[in-house]
Structure 1
Amino acid sequence: MTLVRAGILAALLVAAVCLQVAAFPHVSFDGVVPNLALLLVVAAALVRGPDFAATLGFFAGLAIDLAPPADHVAGRWALALVVVGYVAGRVRQDAGTSAGAAVITVAASSFIGTSLFALSGMLLHDPAVPATEALAVIPVAVVYDVLLTPFVLPLAMRLLRRIEPHRVAY
């Protein structure tokens, strides 16, 4: 990947994280906002495969972990999005063929990512969010991400294909 393409990808990631932490809290439901970074990682998984998506997931998760107003132990979203990128990338042959399969992949990825984030908080005894509240947001997060999928996923996949078309996984 050239430096220009890496810069475009970094700008896309920064834009997703900034929207997620700055703009979307105004439309939150019970404190839950759509996870644009997760949708970008899933799009990368469907276009480029598990290795690329897991790497992007690490940087996306780290950006969320460090972006203000982060109130949790750093690294939890990084771990969750690495796993999401890898798992979504492993099912890309099935999910890339239809819109329904892509939506199911997003739902499963959102469930996995949010669950890993909540469970890692319980394991680390993170005082910011009690365990019962962390587990209660999982269904809301999945629904929110699925509702945003038709607007974000096709655009993100198209952009990722254009950034480096010769590296698209088939």
Structure 2
Amino acid sequence: MRFNRILLSTTLVVVALVIQVSVLARLQLPGAVPDLVLLTVLALALVYGHVGGALVGFGAGLLSDLAPPADHAAGRYALVLCVVGYLAGLAKPESGRLRSAAGPLLVVVSAALGSTLLYAGVGALVGDTAARHVGLVGLLFTAALYDLILAPFTVPLIIALARRAENDPLGEGSPANKAADVSSGWLASGTGLSIGNQRGGLRAKAAKARVARAGRIKGVKRL
């Protein structure tokens, strides 16, 4: 991943994690907790694709595993968000532009349900049965509902920030760098071959003019 992607992704994930732990987790809503970190991973995956989504998801999940008050094994949520980020990145449009809001909302609902099921499944493998006591059906419903309500206020903003960072004038392939390459190439060649080519072109034009002038004079003499 490029430096601007790493910097933006890290900043957004840290901010989302702080808001989720310090604000959303303390709302004491019934069922699940609104997952702002998950929405951040989804939004970035829709811009960066499946590889970038998997990397961002793994990093975001690992931070969530280590952030207090984590009560599960480290790496559990990293695995979940890595898989979710990869799958969400597959939904990235080829043109890079989303035609409607239905696609991202469908991705949000699918990710909310899939991450909850995968998290509970991994927990069952390691002996964590908390999902059974809370109620898996209630967790699925509330997770999808809360993330769907929060998505319109977060996903479009994160996508816009990621796209703006992709058009960084300091990045590779940007118009500014292309102009710099053109100007440097012009400076490099303008003192040598370009001047020689220009002189050769002027000489050829002068020779053609002399030939044309001589032809006109001969024509007058024939008359």
Measured against the shorter chain, the TM-score band is 0.7 to 0.9
**Which residue does the alignment assign to 2:110?**
108
- Between the aligned residues of both structures, percent identity stands at 40
Change (3 A) 1:90 1:130: closer
1:72-116 Cα offsets, whole Å, 9 max, x none, are 111111111111111111122299321011101110011111111
**Higher relative contact order at CA 8 Å, sep ≥6: structure 1 or structure 2?**
1
Rounded Cα–Cα distance in structure 2 between residues aligned with 1:75 and 1:114: 15
Matching residue's letter, 1:156: I
- The corresponding residue for 2:29 is 29
CA contact (8 A) 2:46 2:92 kept: yes
- Aligned partner of 1:39 in structure 2 is 39
Does 1:57 find its partner at 2:62? no
CA separation in 1, counterparts of 2:46 and 2:52? 10
Alpha-carbon distance, 1:21 to partner: 1.2
For residues 167 and 126 of structure 2, the distance between their equivalents in structure 1, rounded to whole angstroms, comes to 41
Change (3 A) 1:37 1:134: farther
User: Runs of 5+ in structure 1 lacking a partner?
Assistant: none
Q: Deviations over 1:34-80 (max 9, x none)?
A: 11111111111111100001100000011111110011111111111
Provide the rounded CA distance (Å) in 2 between the counterparts of 1:8 and 1:43. Answer: 12
User: Aligned with 1:39: secondary structure?
Assistant: helix
Matched with 1:159 is: 161
Aligned-residue Cα RMSD (Å) equals 2.1
Deviation at 1:9, TM superposition (A): 2.5
Q: Is the 8 Å Cα contact of residues 46 and 96 (structure 1) preserved in structure 2?
A: no
Q: Is the Cα contact below 8 Å between 2:53 and 2:89 reproduced in 1?
A: yes
Would the aligned equivalents of 1:106 and 1:145 in 2 still touch at CA under 8 Å?
yes
Q: How does 1:55-94 map to 2 (within 5 A)?
A: 55-93=55-93
Distance 1:130 1:43, change over 3 A: closer
Long gaps (5+) in structure 2: 172-223
Amino acid corresponding to residue 162 of structure 1 in structure 2? R
- TM-score w.r.t. structure 1 length? 0.88
Contact 2:9 2:44 in 1 (8 A): no
State the 4+ residue runs in structure 1 displaced beyond 4 angstroms.
none
